[in-house]
A and B are shown apart, each in its own frame.
Chain A
Amino acid sequence: MKTCLVVDDSKVIRRVARRILEELQFEIDEAVDGHDAWEQCQSKMPDMVLLDWNMPVMNGFDFLRQLRGSDVPKQPIVVFCTTENDLAHIRAAIDAGANEYIMKPFDREIIEAKLSQVGLI
């Protein structure tokens, strides 16, 4: 089973994402912000991170840069999932090493399409 860390400060979003991803046979962990995500990654690196942008403590973008700058043995696939829906944000995220980008609102179909895009399903 593939593992996914869902990083979002909204409990509702985490729940929705979890349900969709579990249906797609992923094992899910949740983090509430970038800092929490970073700590969890250090003890258990997931295959994929579904990442919100705006979060307290550490935002998704800073988390991504920290992750990509680190020398972890295996870098996970990172898919942004955010309300930042403009080209400038998308470009910044991809330049910083995101593999895909989901603009909220999302549904199962979009998640599925994006995961297939990055070769996870």
Chain B
Amino acid sequence: MSNLTATEFTTIADIIQKRSGLMLTMDKIYLLETRLTPFARRRGMADYKLLLRDVLANPNDVILTEIIEAMMTNETYFFRDKAPFSNIDEDFLSKFRKQNATEKKLRIWCAACSTGQEPYSLAMMFNEKVVEWQGWSIEILATDISELPLARARAGVYTQFEVQRGLPINLLMKYFTQVDENWKIIPKIASAVKFQKFNLLDSMSGLGCFDLILCRNVLIYFNQAGKIKVLESLERQLNRNGALVLGASEAVFGLLPTLQPSPDLRGFYIRSEPSIASTIAA
């Protein structure tokens, strides 16, 4: 079958970007092939180009959504990059705990949680400090645009390979049970996280404000305008003194006027102004 024309490619790339933020430049055309070929085959088409041409001719919401999901990179692992988690635990949250000792309320949002390793890492982290967090109401909301990884996250079942990347053995022993070849997170940790489908391009106001937002390894796939749009929205959902944590390789220097990069915690951006949402509410 003939190659996609530049126009066909741009049309598809445009649709994907408008709906998800994911930026596809011409040099990533191979990604369409590697990600969509298995998907096309499952739908009985030998060639992904057939699928794309078909959906361009007859736009179909369901198929488009599935195409977008297939294009996503869902790679994640427990305690990814390590340092952000110890920084959250030992620095940010230990201060937060002291500053909010009377209210005892903490809301966290993992804004692109994929298969759930990130929010579950947080939930285990809290459980490792039950005494310190005694009496606190802690909410961990975990969202993603894609249904499939979310279903896996909710099931909380991980392969042997997945539990060996980043998860210390003592936490595996403590928080997982073995189910055949796989490992299932125990109900106590599973129930500490609420999973929900959410697109970062949608209005966030319904989610309320958070003390900590993790938005890691997702904006790298967005173009500059998309990044700014999401960052501005995220900023509005942060409580005063709340922190936004981005991925290790995501420099957003200068993109956020009121979010200050933390001088000592890499990838942390602290909101010093009261949140816009709470100003309006007040």
Contact = CB atoms under 8 A, between A and B. Distances in A.
A72 interface: no
B168 interface: yes
A117 B78 CA distance: 12
B82 A102 contact: no
Interface residue tally on A, bucketed by range? 10 to 19
Interface in A70-121: 85-87, 90-91, 94, 100-103, 106, 109-110, 113-114, 116-117
Nearest to B165: A113
B24 to A, nearest CB: 27
B161 interface: yes
B172 interface: yes
A100 B165 CA distance: 12
Contacts of B166: 113
A86 B165 contact: no
B173 interface: yes
Interface residue tally on B, bucketed by range? 10 to 19
Given A109-B165, A113-B165, A117-B168, A90 B160 contact: no
B161 to A, nearest CB: 7
B165 A110 contact: yes
B178 A94 contact: no
A118 to B, nearest CB: 9
Contacts of A86: 178
Interface in B150-201: 160-161, 164-166, 168-170, 172-173, 177-178, 181
A106 B172 contact: no
Given A87-B178, A116-B82, A94 B164 contact: no
A94 B170 contact: yes
Interface in A15-65: none
A101 B169 contact: yes
Given A101-B169, A110-B164, 13 more contacts: A85-B160, A85-B181, A87-B173, A87-B177, A94-B169, A94-B173, A100-B168, A103-B164, A113-B77, A113-B166, A116-B82, A117-B168, A117-B169
Interface of B: 77, 82, 160-161, 164-166, 168-170, 172-173, 177-178, 181
Interface of A: 85-87, 90-91, 94, 100-103, 106, 109-110, 113-114, 116-117
20 contacts: A85-B160, A86-B178, A87-B173, A90-B169, A90-B172, A90-B173, A94-B170, A94-B173, A100-B169, A102-B164, A103-B160, A106-B164, A109-B165, A110-B161, A110-B164, A110-B165, A113-B164, A113-B166, A117-B168, A117-B169
